[in-house]
Amino acid sequence: MWGRALAGALPGFFLAAALTGLLAWCAPGPWQDAVVPSLIFFVPTWMLILGGAFLFADARRAWGWLTAAAALAFALLGALKTLGWVL
């Protein structure tokens, strides 16, 4: 139980942060134009991940998948920024 809860809280936090970043940067216009909706988006996203982490069969899988997803999402965000495809 605690293992999956922590997976939602730690890698889950970073996954929610990266998804918030993707939403903020990929939305049309500079991210500054919709920073309030982006910040609000972070909250239900993290909540869903905190709850959804218990859908994994055990703590190892929860940590593995959520860490991988967070890393992937940050890599995607970083690539988009570096390539200059988003404002």
Partner 1 sequence: MKPSSTTLRTFTTVHTWVGLAAGFALFVAFYAGAITVFRDALPLWQSPHRLDRVQWLGDAQRLLDGVLERHPEARTHMGMLFPGGELPQSIAYWQDKTGVWQFATLDDLDGNAQRPFTELADLVNELHYSVGLPVAGTYLMGLVSLLYGVALFSGLLIHWPKLTKDLFALRPGRNLKQFWQDAHNVIGVLSLPFHILFAVTGVVLCLVFVFASALNPLVFDGKLMQALPAALDTAPQRPVANVPAAPRSLSFWYARSVEAARAQGLDAFEPAYLKLANAGDANAVVEVTGVSSRSLGPQGSIALAAASGDVLASQLPGHRDANHATLASAYALHFGDYGNAVVPWLYFLLGLGGAFLFYSGNLLWIESRRKRRQLQQSRAAISMGRATVGVCIGLCVAVSAAFVAAQVFEAAAPTHVDAGIRWTCFASWGACVAWAAVRSPAQAARELLWAAAAVTAAVAAAHGIVSGQWLWNGSASGVGIASFVDAIALAMSIAFAMLARATAYRMRHGDPNSIWASGGARR
Binding site for partner 1 (CB under 8 A): 1, 13-14, 17-18, 20-21, 24-25, 31-37, 39-40, 42-44, 46-48, 50-52, 54-55, 77, 81
Q: Which of 36, 38, 14 has the alpha carbon at shortest distance from 25?
A: 38
Question: Judged by CB, which is closer to partner 1: 11, or 21?
Answer: 21
Nearest to partner 1 of 31, 64 (CB atom): 31
Rg of the chain, C-alpha, whole Å: 14
CB of 74 to partner 1, least distance (A): 8
Q: Exposure of 7 by Cβ count < 10 A (0-12 exposed, 13-18 middle, 19+ buried)?
A: buried
